[in-house]
Structures are given as C-alpha cells and as structure tokens.
Amino acid sequence: MSMPVNPDFIAADPEALAEREGRIALFVDPEAGRQGPLAQRVNRLTRGGLKRLIDSAGFGKLDPGQAVTLAAPAGMAAEALVVVHLPRRAAPDVLRRAGVAIGKLHDDQPLLVLGDRADPAPVVLGLALRAYAYTAQKSDPGPAPGPVAVMTTDPDAARAACADALALAEGVHFTRDLVNAPANVLTTETFAAQLEEMRDLGLEVEVLDEAAMDALGMGALLAVGRGSECPSRLVVMRWQGGDADAAPLAVCGKGVMFDTGGISIKPSAGMEDMTMDMGGAAVTAGLMRALARRKAKANVVGLVGLVENMPDGRAQRPGDVVRSMKGDTIEVINTDAEGRLVLADVMWYAQEHIKPAAMIDLATLTGAMIIALGHEKAGVFANDDALADAFLRAAGDVGEGAWRMPLDPAYDKLIKSRIADIKNVGGRTAGSITAAQFLQRFVKDDTPWIHLDIAGVALVKEDTAYAPKGATGWGVLSLDALVRARFEAQG
C-alpha cells in the first residue's frame, strides 16, 4: 500500500536554514508585527525578501491556510520557499488547509516545514492526506517522494502529538488504494487477504466463505455474487481497545468489487468507474486500520460483504425472490440495486453475532444521492437523532461534507412487493430514501443506526480539499472522530 509521509522531527536550528536544500515551508501572519524566530532568520537570509512578500498586496489577499511559492530565494540553497498565510491561534481546519497547501507542492525534493509557530498535528495531517498518488499500476511510477522534516522547538512533543494524525493518514491512504485498484487486481479474495494481513496490527480477523454464509442463511448477499467467478466473502475485523464488557460499535461496508449491474446491465459509458463500488468496505477497512494503528480505547467491529455483480447463466434475474438472513423474502426488481441486498445480510449478521451498541453502514448505494447532493456531501440517514447529530458534528469538525436526509414510513409503500415481503427498488422517486427505508427493515428496533450513502464522495473527477482526483477516502476521518467523541474510553 502507499504510505503517507513519515516526517522526521528535528530541533529548531536557524543557522542550518541557509544550506538546507529542496523546499522550505514556513508560516507567517501578515497581521503580526513580528514573525517567529525561524521566519525572521529566513527574512535575514533573503535580505528582506520574505518581508516584502508578506507586505505585498497579493499575499494580503490570500485566505488563511493558502500559500505562495518564492522560487530560488536569494541567500539560501533551497530551490523554493512555500510561504503559508497562517494567523496566530488558527483553528484546526485552517491548520489542516495549511498542511494541504504544502502537501500539494511536495515532490521528489526534500521538504522542511518550519513548525515553530503552529500546532503540528493538523498541519501534518493535512500534508499527509494531500501528498498522495496512486501509482501501483504504472510501469514507471516516477521518483519517490522526497523526505519530510518538521523543525520545531520540541521534537519529541511534536512527534508524539502527530502520531494519531499519521495513523489516520495511513487509514485514509489504505482506503484510497483499495478504491483506486482495478477489479482484476483487487478481487473478493485479494481484498480479504489484505484484511487478514491486518492481524499484524492487533486486529482479530475472521473470513466467512460461501459455505459458511449459506449455513447462516445469507441468501440475499449470496444471490448477488452468483454470476461471478470470484467467490463471495464476509470479513469481520474486531478491535478490542475498550472495556472488555462494553458493547462495540459495528461498522458495515458494502464491498461490490465490480458492478456491471448484473442482468440489469449498466450502460457501458462510465462503467469503468464501478471499480469503486466497494467504497463502503474500503472506508470500513481504513477506519479499522487507523483505530489499530493509534491503539484506540474503543471496541469497534468492522464487517465487509465482498461480492462481484456479474451477468452470467447463474446470475440472479429480475423477478427472482431471495431470502435474507433475517428471514424476509425480497423480490429482485432490478439486479443493479444489489448493494442493499449485501448490506441487509451483513447488518443482520452484525446484530445477531456482535450485539452492537450502535451500527453504521456505508455504501456507494444510489446514483440518486449524487443527483441530490452532488459530490460535496454524503447522505446521512438515521433512526437515532443523538447518534446522527454526533456524526454530523464529527464530520463538520474534520471537514468532510455530510447532510442528513429523511426517513419516513410513508416511503415504504414504494417498495411493497406483490409476491414477497419487500422489493429491492421503488422506482425513480426518492431513490436514495427508499434504499435507506429498505435497509431500515434489517435494523432491530433497539439498535441505533446510521446509513451513509457515499456514492457522490467516494471517488471524484476533480481535486478535493484533502485529495487529488480519484479516490478520496471520505469517511475515515469522520468515523474516527465519532469513535473518539462517543465510543472511546476517556482518561
């Protein structure tokens, strides 16, 4: 997997700046009468060039967290200075943006961040999230990223403060790698194998094959994968970092490795993007990796249903009726509405075998979600206001877009079946809501639950705040923040 930058934290040494090669990033406040000691040293070395830049009209128009580059600064060996507008006592979101501004410019050259006047953790998180490239499928991936160092007055304290940020960045990078990987490389079996490797991090990992799922009655999930040569899998990842008797949070991810639509086949245009239909499973995996890396004091179980939806002589057909693990029968109107069939069984398994304190599912579930919210926000559906509010606060705190959508029994009539207990689609009207209503049928009355429809945010065509175009890793930060705020033991 691609790993985030792993900075070296070094003691502040103004005298070493003159000979430092590569790029040097520093933070300045144009409203301050006096800059920090390291910035003052840079200004002297450049014979006042830094101050002239800070005093310029262009720099004054920068938003907090934005940067400009001063190429070939006189009096220094560095090839460029990255000068970031950063007010004193900047909020965490501004500090993350400052890190992003630096990360965008990180290349194969050494990078030194002068961190004497900024909280290092959010800066390093922003830098690590943005300095990402998926090169696993390239014959020539190009030069390796240059080393990164953070110069600060207390390197040991900075290193400790940034440990969790780097664990989070690793989880996000893992998620992005999974979503970006092509379906002939990342299959149900290779995905499960990668998750099994996380036992080395302290996770308990259990893999259920088709025979085990059939014995459990998981007919809805198994029906989706019937047309594929890739066998379906259910992977259960347990992190036990909290009290032994505390009920865990269950996080369930849809893992459709490739979605042709099945017999209800999709149009060919854009079908190549359906390698990302396992985005919910990827976020779940990235979250579990981050929790294990930072040794979270919480009990969390991640469950991912891994299938491939292909047309074949054995594939399920429109009009088929399948029986879920819960026992409900489902009329399959459209085989391209397969993710909810997978999640129905994964969620029921979680409640029957994990007994969670709360449950969250993630899925690239509906194109209707993109029509509703575009690529800026994920849809949030919930049966518990307190849990929903806590998640929305967490998403807001880390800068990941999310918006609450309605659930209402009035929509159930749209998915009422003539021949079975329920049908898997209700037509074009309120498509994301009826999908959520379908999933709610597989949530027990006493289980607080959130459904996250991430169809619009998992993979995008343009750069986002934290990522280059492609897989975003949306959700790892928000779910980690929710775990911290609501499920992690304090003290």
Structure confidence at residue 396 (pLDDT)? 97
C-alpha 426/C-alpha 156 separation (Å) is 57
366-411: pLDDT as tens digits: 999 999 999 999 999 999 999 999 999 999 999 999 999 999 999 9
Measured between its terminal Cα atoms, the distance across the chain in Å is 33
101-135: pLDDT as tens digits: 999 999 999 999 999 888 999 999 999 999 999 99
Cα 95 to chain centroid distance, Å, stands at: 19
- What pTM, to 2 d.p., does this model score? 0.97
324-347: pLDDT as tens digits: 999 999 999 999 999 999 999 999
Determine the topology of domain 171-487 in CATH: Aminopeptidase (3.40.630)
C-alpha 140/C-alpha 274 separation (Å) is 25
* The pair of three-digit structure tokens given for residue 394, joined into one six-digit string: 């967490």
Question: What residue ranges do the domains of the chain occupy?
Answer: 8-153, 171-487
Structure confidence at residue 33 (pLDDT)? 73
C-alpha 34/C-alpha 79 separation (Å) is 25
Structure confidence at residue 130 (pLDDT)? 96
Q: What b-and-e string marks burial along 148-178, b requiring 16 or more CB atoms within 10 Å of the CB?
A: bbbbbeebeebbebbebbbbbbbbbbbbbbb
Query: What does the angle CA 304 – CA 305 – CA 308 come to, to the nearest 5 degrees?
Result: 130
- In total, the chain counts a number of residues equal to 491
State the average pLDDT over residues 139-156. Answer: 95
> What CATH number does the domain located at 8-153 have?
3.40.220.10
35-51: pLDDT as tens digits: 889 999 999 999 999 99
C-alpha 133/C-alpha 338 separation (Å) is 31
Supply the mean pLDDT for the chain: 96
Query: Phi, psi (5° rounding) for residue 161?
Result: -65, -30
Of 491, 489, 490, the closest CA to residue 249 belongs to 489
Active-site positions read: 266, 340
> Which residue in this structure is represented by tokens 């025979």?
211
Does the pLDDT at position 491 exceed 70? no
Decide if 34 contacts 88 (C-beta within 8 A): no
Query: Phi, psi (5° rounding) for residue 323?
Result: -110, 130
Does the pLDDT at position 2 exceed 70? yes
405-461: pLDDT as tens digits: 999 999 999 999 999 999 999 999 999 999 999 999 999 999 999 999 999 999 999
222-256: pLDDT as tens digits: 999 999 999 999 999 999 999 999 999 999 999 99
Decide if 414 contacts 434 (C-beta within 8 A): yes
C-alpha 470/C-alpha 396 separation (Å) is 22
Structure confidence at residue 177 (pLDDT)? 98
Does the pLDDT at position 489 exceed 90? no
Structure confidence at residue 490 (pLDDT)? 67
